[in-house]
Structure 1
């Protein structure tokens, strides 16, 4: 192979080979990463998307829960529409989670409880096929029980 004799030409050829090496290495690395860890496409992450897929997906919440009452009494049309399309019958938890894993059902509950379901499924199957929606519907209300005469009651209530 004939290499240039001038230093300027050698610098150009060396730079070109460095660029080719970086570009090909980056491409190969991205290809391996894509094939090894494919990006999971979650089709439903908001209430609007759920209502748009109402013909293919069912949804439910705990019967008589705070969430059910809030969307039932909500003045916002999409929440009322969500309540009207919601399954009102109690579903067995295992059947419900299996339907959620298949992508045929959406379950509404407090974020803490949903994290518990995700952890439980991961411990059983060693993988997690569940995902949380990106839309926050209501602030999660948390309470603590303590003695009435505790000196920390004011501090905890402020926080």
Structure 2
């Protein structure tokens, strides 16, 4: 009962309410999804995934790691690309752990050092703010040094080989070396920012509104000329 009588005005009101319904529904749906259904997906587990993460703008590499020399003989382009952009650090200030926590930086270091960092921050904050990637770039070689021409060298090598084949070395790693616990990359899921509806997503809705106003304007012009034609016709009839 509150609608205008003209067809053009009704068309404007109809298109306007279509746009309002779409806007309100989109906003409510996006708000509910953001508050109750956050999106989770794995973070950066492999070095070649860095190209798809535009938020990461800093690369770090600890000084003295074998990764620098390994890249020189490697054929992987992602290794070389990382080394070209990486900042070699040797102190805790240059390591910039806070930037890693914010998701702006990726550091490459010995896995033991990274496990110590994750464990230390987890014990302090009681929250998983870091995760280790699944990819191990260079095997960490641990050896023993003995005197030259030692009579015990073959005996030590034989027992180390036996321990390695029976899994004792791996068991020793699990029992004595620090582990990420709840914050390891295999069991933890890292939260990413949900996609928020912006003007690019809603431009189709405003195009519909523009189409409605354009059609209504054409109908207004037609109604104006039609009314003018009827008025002139009645005037001629009255004169006659």
TM class by smaller structure: 0.5 to 0.7
Question: What is the TM-score when the length of structure 1 is the normalising length?
Answer: 0.62
Tell me, yes or no, if the aligned pair for 2:61 and 2:108 is still in contact at 8 Å.
yes
Deviation at 1:52, TM superposition (A): 3.5
Pair 1:92-2:96 in alignment: no
| 3-state secondary structure, aligned to 1:84 | helix
Spell out the pairing of 1:1-159 with structure 2 (5 A cutoff): 40-53=40-53, 56-90=56-90, 92-93=92-93, 96-144=96-144, 149=152, 151-157=155-161, 159=164
1:39 to 1:156, Cα distance in 2 relative to 1, 3 A: farther
Tell me which of the two structures has the higher relative contact order, counting C-alpha pairs closer than 8 angstroms and 6 or more residues apart: 2
> RMSD across aligned C-alpha pairs, in angstroms?
2.9
Question: Per the alignment, do residues 59 and 91 of structure 1 end up closer, same or farther by CA in structure 2, a change over 3 Å counting?
Answer: farther
Query: Which structure features the higher share of helix residues?
Result: 2
Q: Give SS of 1:51's match.
A: helix
Aligned twin of 1:15? none
Deviation of the 1:104 alpha carbon: 0.8
Computing the radius of gyration from Cα coordinates, the structure with the larger value is 2
Pair 109,88 (structure 1): closer, same or farther in 2 beyond 3 Å:
closer
TM-score (norm 2): 0.43
Structure 1: give runs of 5+ residues left out of the alignment.
1-34
Q: 1:123 to 1:89 in 2, by over 3 A?
A: closer
Unmatched tracts of structure 2, length 5 or more = 1-35, 165-240
Tell me, in whole angstroms, the C-alpha distance in 2 between the residues paired with 1:76 and 1:92.
Answer: 29
Instruction: Classify the secondary structure of the residue corresponding to 2:87.
Output: coil
- 1:89-111 superposed Cα distances (whole Å, 9 cap, x missing partner): 54535862111111111111122
Range 142-151 or range 82-91, more displaced:
142-151
User: Which stretches of structure 1, 4 residues or longer, exceed 6 Å deviation after superposition?
Assistant: none
